[in-house]
A and B are shown apart, each in its own frame.
Chain A
């Protein structure tokens, strides 16, 4: 279960990085920079990143406690 949480957390992190990359592509396009769309995507990406990191951190902390208990 802990591994599942950690894998899910890393998947969310990867997804967040993909969203952020899309936002950067939008904003660094020299021909038609789309700042508003990029801002929306950055907010969404940061939210997903925060959730993913929280899952990874909780899974790591739980594994440390479990290993110490065993």
Chain B
């Protein structure tokens, strides 16, 4: 998306707020469904817990989502039994994974969806400018802005679709990996027999773990290679200072630029009070 176009065609604030409220309401409903499906927790308590999780997520912490999911799945699994894999259990597991993946990328997803829903609402609610309403130049300008807004909405829609596809791919991959785990009695027996047959090494064995670490490393280094020049410079400078901190400090102390006292935070001086007569 072009930044200059985005600055020239901003969505009004109340549309962004409306979009945020819609988005957060939908997420809260899904979260409540995922956390409390089939439980007998009172509705008020469900609302309080969901609100607490949402507040922590809004303040940038996804740890509570993860913890709440684990507690919920622990009770759900113990109720539903782990010996069968029917549709409700699979749907619940997929929703849990999707919610965890969503919480991990919450900030970027939120800003993207806020802009997209806000622009959609804005364009749906305003009337398109008609030719000849005001003077010709103003009318043409308004029509051009309107067309550019729709173009931006199309670009944002594409980004939302790509993001949703990525989320779906992550959930599918995680589901496939988790389905390989021996969670039923026959699967546990087969896993044990396979491990014994494979030279007494527990399956998937060391090679499987190492391949998982390699995948993580490739993803990590791949994202590192997309640093901007400014970020790369900042990293190099901070690394240089960290590595050579003692040498730099001794040079500065010898040159008289720093005192030899240890660098300890001094407490702030109390403010001067008004002298009483």
Interface residues of A (CB under 8 A from B): 13, 17, 20-22, 24-25, 28-31, 53-54, 56-58, 60-62, 64-65, 68
Residues of B within 8 A of A (CB): 195-196, 200-202, 205-207, 209-210, 213-214, 217, 220-221, 224-225, 227-229, 231-233, 235-236, 239
CA distance A20 to B205 in the complex (A): 12
Nearest-Cβ distance from residue B235 to partner chain A, whole angstroms: 5
In the assembled complex, which residues on chain B have CB atoms less than 8 Å from the CB atom of A13? 217
- Complex A-B, nearest 3 residue pairs according to Cβ-Cβ distance, in ascending order: A24-B206, A68-B229, A61-B232
Q: Give Cα A60 to B231, complex, Å.
A: 12
**Cβ A17 vs Cβ B206 within 8 A:** no
Chain A residues within 8 Å of B221, by CB: 53, 56-57, 60
A17-B213 in contact given A30-B195, A65-B233 (Cβ < 8 Å)? yes
For B236, list chain A residues within 8 Å (CB). 58, 61-62, 65
A30 touching B227 in the complex, CB below 8 Å, given contacts A17-B213, A21-B210: no
- Tell me how many residue pairs across A and B have CB atoms closer than 8 Å: 66
Q: Please tell me which one of the listed residues A30, A57, A62 contacts residue B202 in the complex, with CB atoms under 8 A apart.
A: A30
Given contacts A17-B210, A17-B214, A61-B236, contact A28 B202 (CB under 8 A): yes
CB A21 to nearest CB in B, in angstroms, measures 5
Q: Which of B200, B217, B220, B233 contacts A29 (CB 8 A)?
A: B200
Residue of A nearest to B204 (CB): A28
Please measure, in the bound complex, the distance between the C-alpha atom of A30 and the C-alpha atom of B203, giving whole angstroms.
11
- Contact residue among A22, A25, A57, A68 (Cβ-Cβ distance under 8 Å from B235): A57
Determine which of B201, B207, B213 lies in contact with A30 in the assembled complex, contact meaning CB atoms within 8 Å: B201
